[in-house]
Amino acid sequence: MAIEFYDVKEGKKVAVDESNITKKVYSRTTKTGKTQNRYALRGKTSDGRNLTKFVSEADWKALDRPVED
């Protein structure tokens, strides 16, 4: 199954095969001291460039791919 990413360099949407996708969580601490998490999928194009797509937590958990550090 392929997932669509927006490729800024090419200026269009591209499909990346699921085997080239990893998951990542971006965490930050807000001014009030709370932790905010953003869930992303990271894909690699055929020429080796990285693409990032932010998704909901439910979609992130549903995808069975390895998690990046």
Per-residue pLDDT tens listing for the chain (69 residues): 899 999 999 999 999 999 999 999 999 999 999 999 999 999 999 899 999 999 999 999 999 999 998
On whether residue 21 sits in a domain, the answer given is yes
Q: What is the pLDDT of residue 41?
A: 98
Check the CA dihedral 6-7-13-18 and report its sign.
negative
With a CB cutoff of 8 Å and minimum separation 6, the contacts of 10 are: none
On whether residue 16 sits in a domain, the answer given is yes
- Residue 39's domain comprises 2-62
On whether residue 69 sits in a domain, the answer given is no
Number of separate domains in the chain: 1
Q: What is the pLDDT of residue 55?
A: 97
> Which secondary-structure segment (H or E) carries 57?
helix 57-62
